[in-house]
């Protein structure tokens, strides 16, 4: 099915598409390949994803089309939720089932309370060393390319935050849990660290992202579902798209008039009688989304990211 999707090349001119699609990324597909499939099906001029999922991971991958790409950073920065299954007793090079086994150890007869205690140790703020098998770059080279050459380089620790980690099941040396975490958290590293905490090693055997910020899995679409709608007509396909402003719906709304919109689009600051500080969601009185501004002084707002449909 995936090969057929990749071959689906529309001959009509690429069109301007604006909005956000919640894609259910399939197994064994890179995030970039999934993006290219969806972009072709929408016949869109411009699109980008908002944070990679490993090929062995599935689930929520927001795709931003057109003007929505200007606001993709706010989804990249958002907290994420994952459903995870970890196999105890085996540690691998990559931290998942794809990697070469580097150690096997016996697994103690853990009870549920012991597993919960180990998981809870990761709650809150901590530092994490990114894995070598990742897309992070060292001197312009992705780390995973160096890792495949058996080259290991020092990686700086990154601050992460885990706000919730909840055990779902534990049997046959497999731990299933759900976790809410900050951007930049590597679940493979989390599971590897969990395995060391339990003194038996562990690796990821299943990983599914179920939420990105305020977006959850309830409105996801698979590539196959998208293809079926594309074969009906593009109007039906476009009904899957969420408005651009959904990406920043967590920001306080500031209402601006036509004169202020003009000033913002000219790169000028405006002044509003508001109490909000930081980033704000700029809208007209009619509810038209203008973009994101930032309060830099009391009531003074400067433009940060503005939509442009011209």
Beta strands in 182-224 (DSSP E): 202-212, 215-216
- Residue of 24, 54, 96, 192 marked catalytic: 54
Q: Which letter, b or e, does each residue of 41-78 get, where b requires 16 or more Cβ atoms within 10 Å of its Cβ?
A: bbbbeebebbbbbbbbbbbbbbbbbbbbbbbbebbeeb
Is-contact 103 91, C-beta < 8 A?
A: yes
CA 181 → CA 52, 124, 131, 164, 294, distances in Å?
Answer: 15, 9, 17, 7, 26
Whether 77 is catalytic: no
Which long-range contacts link 116-123 to residues 24+ away (Cβ below 8 Å)?
116/167, 118/194, 118/197, 118/198, 119/165, 119/166, 119/167, 119/175, 119/177, 119/194, 120/165, 121/197, 122/162, 122/165, 122/190, 122/193, 122/194, 123/162, 123/163, 123/164, 123/165
Q: What is the dihedral of CA 82, 183, 66, 226, to 10 degrees?
A: -10
Q: Looking at the annotation, which residues are catalytic? A: 54
């Amino acid at each position: 099915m995936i090969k057929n999707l990749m071959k689906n090349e529309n001959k009509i001119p690429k069109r301007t598409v604006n909005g956000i699609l919640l894609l259910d990324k399939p197994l064994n597909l890179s995030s970039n390949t999934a993006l290219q499939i969806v972009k072709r099906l929408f016949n869109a001029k411009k699109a980008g994803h908002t944070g990679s999922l490993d090929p062995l991971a599935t689930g929520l991958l927001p795709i931003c089309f057109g003007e929505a790409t200007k606001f993709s950073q706010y989804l990249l920065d958002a907290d994420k939720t994952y459903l995870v299954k970890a196999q105890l007793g085996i540690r691998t090079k990559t931290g998942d089932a794809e990697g070469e086994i580097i150690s096997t150890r016996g697994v103690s007869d853990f009870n549920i309370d012991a597993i919960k205690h180990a998981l809870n140790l990761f709650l809150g703020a901590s530092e994490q060393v990114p894995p070598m098998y990742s897309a992070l770059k060292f001197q312009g080279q992705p780390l995973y390319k160096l890792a495949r050459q058996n080259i290991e380089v020092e990686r700086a620790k990154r601050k992460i935050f885990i706000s919730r980690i909840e055990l779902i099941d534990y049997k046959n040396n497999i731990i299933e849990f759900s976790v809410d975490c900050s951007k930049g958290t590597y679940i493979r590293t989390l599971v590897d660290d969990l395995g060391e905490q339990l003194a038996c090693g562990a690796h990821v055997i299943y990983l599914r992202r179920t939420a990105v910020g305020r977006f959850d899995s309830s409105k996801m679409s698979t590539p196959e579902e998208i293809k079926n709608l594309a074969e009906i007509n593009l109007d039906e396909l476009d009904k899957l798209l969420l408005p651009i402003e959904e990406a920043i719906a967590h920001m306080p709304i500031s209402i601006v008039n036509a004169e202020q919109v003009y000033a913002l689009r000219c790169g000028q600051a405006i002044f509003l009688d508001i109490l909000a500080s930081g980033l704000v969601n700029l809208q007209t009185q009619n509810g038209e989304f203008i973009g994101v501004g930032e309060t830099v002084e009391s009531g003074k707002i400067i433009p940060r990211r503005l939509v442009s449909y011209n």
